[in-house]
Amino acid sequence: MDHRAATPSLLHIDAGASPAGESVSRRLTALFADRWRRDCGSAGHRYRYRDLAAEPVPLVTADYVRLGHRVERRGTVPVEQVAGLLRNAADRREWQLTRPLVAEVLAADVLLLGVPMYNLTVPAALLAWIDRISFPGALLDPGTGASRLRDKRIVVVCARGGGYGPGAPREGLDFQVPYLRGYFTDRGVPAERLHFVTRELTRAWDVPAMAPLRPRAAASATAARQSVTELAGRLAARQRDAARHAV
Ligand SMILES: Cc1cc2nc3c(=O)[nH]c(=O)nc-3n(C[C@H](O)[C@H](O)[C@H](O)COP(=O)(O)O)c2cc1C
């Protein structure tokens, strides 16, 4: 039986600066979350939402790095035992900012990220969160050294103003999807548990020079909505099955 509770759990995180009504990535993650919650049905669900724009995660500091190094020198320390290594108020502050974020990730079965492209990569707000959850050893099983992310589903919903597909002028300049794929792969998430939905050309209706791209932008919008809906239904069905087998 899975070590987590039988009730499926979704951690939903949005990283873009724009509010819900103006954000493509937020609309798509909301679509996923609504569908997933509805389809969990009788299995019930737990749901946690974090808005990295409304509640920014503080950047890591020298105190965070120092604490991380102290922990690293002891091998893989269970996240529950880091509190025993805190020496002063600065350590306590850093751990207070970090521990709840790690706990939220570890408690989730599905991690849903809404990620706009900013300057060819991900928003700084998301990087600040990634730095915190990546505290040394925090995502590892101290007994086996295995990744504690390996059984989770990671759903990354990306939005970007331009196009980065084959033949696009910016082909090869996408440091958003490859970065996140690299990060989660490096953290032990198997490829089949890592899901990306990418909506491109979101600025086609605002930027006059992009007007000829509107048909492609509309097709990308439709495809992204379909992918998000289908994926939410599929993952919820798996959660329902897992919950049934866990009882
Ligand atoms: C600060 C900033 C930087 C951006 N940089 C890029 C970029 O490098 N490439 C791109 O295609 N779009 C870029 N965009 C456009 C956004 O990716 C696009 O508007 C996307 O839809 C934003 O996601 P959202 O709708 O969820 O807010 C940028 C937007 C902002 C605000």
Give pLDDT, residue 1.
36
Residue nearest to atom 10 of ligand 1 (CA): 161
* pLDDT tens string 176-210: 999 999 999 999 999 999 999 999 999 999 999 99
Residue nearest to atom 20 of ligand 1 (CA): 160
Report the C-alpha gap between 215 and 218 in whole angstroms: 5
* pLDDT tens string 120-164: 999 999 999 999 999 999 999 988 999 999 999 999 999 999 999
Give pLDDT, residue 86.
97
Ligand 1: atom nearest CA of 199 is 21
Instruction: Evaluate: CB of 227 within 6 angstroms of ligand 1.
Output: no
CA dihedral 176, 107, 10, 174 (to 10 degrees): 0
Question: ∠ CA 224-228-234 to the nearest 5 degrees?
Answer: 145
Ligand 1: atom nearest CA of 24 is 25
The yes-or-no verdict on residue 4 having pLDDT over 90 is no
Topology (CATH level 3) of domain 9-246:
Rossmann fold (3.40.50)
Residue nearest to atom 1 of ligand 1 (CA): 118
pTM over 0.85: yes
Centre of ligand 1 to C-alpha 207, Å, is 12
Instruction: Evaluate: CB of 18 within 6 angstroms of ligand 1.
Output: yes
User: In 3-state terms, what secondary structure has residue 154?
Assistant: strand
Pocket test residue of 13, 119, 225 for ligand 1, highest count of atoms within 8 A of CB: 119
Report the C-alpha gap between 163 and 173 in whole angstroms: 10
The residue-averaged pLDDT of 26-40 equals: 97
Centre of ligand 1 to C-alpha 102, Å, is 27
Residue 195, strand partner residues = 155
Q: Whats the size of the chain, residue-wise?
A: 247
Instruction: Evaluate: CB of 159 within 6 angstroms of ligand 1.
Output: yes
Pocket test residue of 14, 22, 25, 118 for ligand 1, highest count of atoms within 8 A of CB: 118
Ligand 1: atom nearest CA of 16 is 27
CA distance from start to end of the chain: 9
Cβ partners under 8 Å of residue 78, min gap 6: 137, 142
Query: How many Cα atoms are found within 13 Å in the side-chain-facing hemisphere of 188?
Result: 15
Among residues 237, 246, 235, 158, the alpha carbon closest in space to that of 193 is found at 235
CB distance 139 to 107 below 8 Å: no
Instruction: Evaluate: CB of 24 within 6 angstroms of ligand 1.
Output: yes
Centre of ligand 1 to C-alpha 210, Å, is 14
